[in-house]
Structure 1
C-alpha cells in the first residue's frame, strides 16, 4: 500500500500568506509615500503664508500650493492647520510656541528638532519618546551647529551667478552658491534674513522659495553613516517625526559613508532640512 500525501493545501496556505504579506508591504509603502507627500504639500502652504500672507487672492504662490494640495486629496483640516502655522497660530487661533529639542541618535548623529506647538509639554514628551524608541538620547548638541539664515531663490532665465554675487555681498550675505537645481542659496546672519531676502528679491527680480533660520552642522563634527541598518533606522525615525504636528525642521550632522547607496542617501537627505 502506497501512502500519498497532498501538499496542495499547504502550498495554497503559503501562497495565500505570501500574497497577503505582499499586499500589506505594498500598502505600507504607499501609505508612507502619501504621508510624505502630504507633509511636503502642507509645508509648501506654510512657507507661502509666511512669505506673503494667508490670502490666496494676494499670494499666487499660496494659491498654487492650495490647488496642488486639494488635487492631491490633502485633508481640509491639514490645509487649515498649515495656513494657521504660517501665521504662527494653532487651528483654534492660539499663538504657537517654539520648541527646540537636541539629541544624539545612533550612530552618534547629533540632531536638532524644531517644533511649533500650542502645548509644549505634550510636544516635548512626544519627541522624547520618539528619540528613546529610536535608541537615542536627549543631549546638548547645539555647539556642533552654527545658526544661520538661509535664503533660497529661483533665478530667472538669462541671469548668471556673476550678476547675483555683487548685490548679494553688498546686502551683507555671508556665503552664496548655486545648487544642482540651478537655485541660488544665500547664507546670512539670522537677524538679517528676512530683510536681505526681500531686498534681493526686489533688486534681482527673483522669486523667494524659502527664507528661514537653520542649524548648519560644523564640518569637523560630522559623523559618517556607513551602516545600511543604521541608515534605515534613521529613516524610520524621520518618518515618525513627519507624523508629529508642528515639526518645522530637522538638522543632523551626518555625512554619507562609502557603503551607503546613493539612492538611499538622497532619500534620507530629503527628510531633513540640511
Structure 2
C-alpha cells in the first residue's frame, strides 16, 4: 500500500509565484517598434511589375499598328495575306488576346469589332509652355470619344484650341532595310537607285533613318499606293505607312522638369485611350533629363 502525502503550500510562496507570472505577462505585452523587412522587397516587386506591364502595353500597341496596317494594305483575310497571318501568329505567341487582334484587323478595314463603321476626328491641344499637339482619332462614336478625351485634356491642364496650322499633313512610309544592307546606303541596294525608283513611284522625298531604313515622304492620297509598289519593287517589308502631322514651325524646347512631366502624363493618358491612333507635337528636349524627356518622346508619333 502506498500513501500520498500532500504538503501544504505556504501563502507567501503562492503569492510570489503569482507575482512572477504577472510580471512575465506585463513584459510580454510591452510594445516595441516593428520592422517590416518585406517593405523594400514589395516596392521592388511593384516597380518591376509596373515596368513589365508598361513593356507589355507597348508591345501590344506595336502589334496592333502592324495588324491594322497589313489589314489595310493587303486585306483582312489571313489566308490571302501572308504578312497579316505572320503578324497574327507573332502576336498570339506574345500573349496578345484574340479580341485585341480582331479589333486591330477590323480597324484596318475602317470598322469596329462589331462591324460598325469608324469615324475620323482630330483634337488640337496646347500645353504650357507653348507645346502644340494634334491627336488623330478613329471611333465608332465620335461624340463619346471627343467628350471623354476633352475631360482627359482638362484634367491635365491642357487647352483644346487650334494648333493644326503649325503642322502639315504628309504621308510617311518606312521600309525595312534588307539584312544585306547593314544600314549602309553604299551596300546592298544603291540608295541613288532607290531614290530614283521612289520618285518615279510618286514619292516627294526619300531619306534613311538612323537604322538604315528607307523613309518615303508622299502626299497623303499617295501614301499607301506608293508603299505597296515600292515594297514589291525593292523587296523590302513595310514597317509603317501613315498619314501624319509633320511640324512646320519652330520646335519648343522643354527646359522645365515639372512642366515636362505634366506633358508626359497627358500624352500617356491619351495613348491609353483605345480610339487614339496618332499623337503629333512640336516639343524637343531642352535642359530636362533623358529620363523625363523619354516619357514624352515614347508617346509621340512625330
Larger Rg: 2
Deviations 1:37-76 (A, max 9, x none): 2222222211121121112222222122212211221122
1:132 — aligned with what?
A: 154
The one-character-per-residue Cα deviations of 1:166-189 (angstroms, maximum 9, x if unpaired) are 122233322211001111111111
Q: 1:201 to 1:41 in 2, by over 3 A?
A: closer
The residue aligned with 1:38 is: 60
Partner of 1:66: 88
In the alignment, what sits opposite 2:75? 53
Structure 2 counterpart of 1:114:
136
For 2:78 and 2:213, the matched residues in 1 are separated by: 25
What are structure 2's unaligned runs of at least 5 residues?
A: 1-26, 181-187
Selected match of 1:169 from 176, 181, 199: 199
Which of these residues, 251, 254, 268, is aligned with residue 296 of structure 2?
Answer: 268
Q: Which has the higher contact order (CA 8 A, sep 6+)?
A: 1
- Cα drift, residue 80 of structure 1: 1.1
Distance 1:155 1:21, change over 3 A: closer
Q: CA deviation at 1:141?
A: 0.1
**1:257 maps to what in 2?**
286
Q: How does 1:1-274 map to 2 (within 5 A)?
A: 9-13=32-36, 15-156=37-178, 157=180, 158-220=188-250, 222-261=251-290, 264-266=292-294, 268-274=296-302
- The question of whether the paired residues in 2 share the 8 Å contact of 1:154 and 1:183 is answered with yes
Contact 1:112 1:251 in 2 (8 A): yes
Deviates more, 1:152-161 or 1:175-184: 152-161
For structure 1, list consecutive stretches of 5 or more residues without a partner in the other structure. Answer: none
Mapped to 1, the partners of 2:42 and 2:95 lie a distance apart of 27
Change in CA separation of 1:268 and 1:201 when aligned onto 2, cut-off 3 Å: same
Q: Secondary structure at the match of 1:100?
A: strand
TM-score, reference length from structure 2: 0.80
Mapped to 2, the partners of 1:253 and 1:66 lie a distance apart of 34
TM-score by length of 1: 0.88
Q: 1:210/1:16 Cα in 2 relative to 1: closer, same or farther (>3 Å)?
A: closer
* Distance in 1, Cα, partners of 2:138 & 2:115: 13
Decide whether the 8 Å contact of 1:227 with 1:260 is kept in 2. Answer: no
Q: How well do the aligned residues superpose, as a CA RMSD in angstroms?
A: 2.4
Instruction: Give the conservation status (yes or no) of the 8 Å contact 1:114–1:250.
Output: yes
Q: In 2, Cα distance between the equivalents of 1:264 and 1:61?
A: 36
Q: 1:172 to 1:83 in 2, by over 3 A?
A: closer
SS in 2 for 1:73: coil
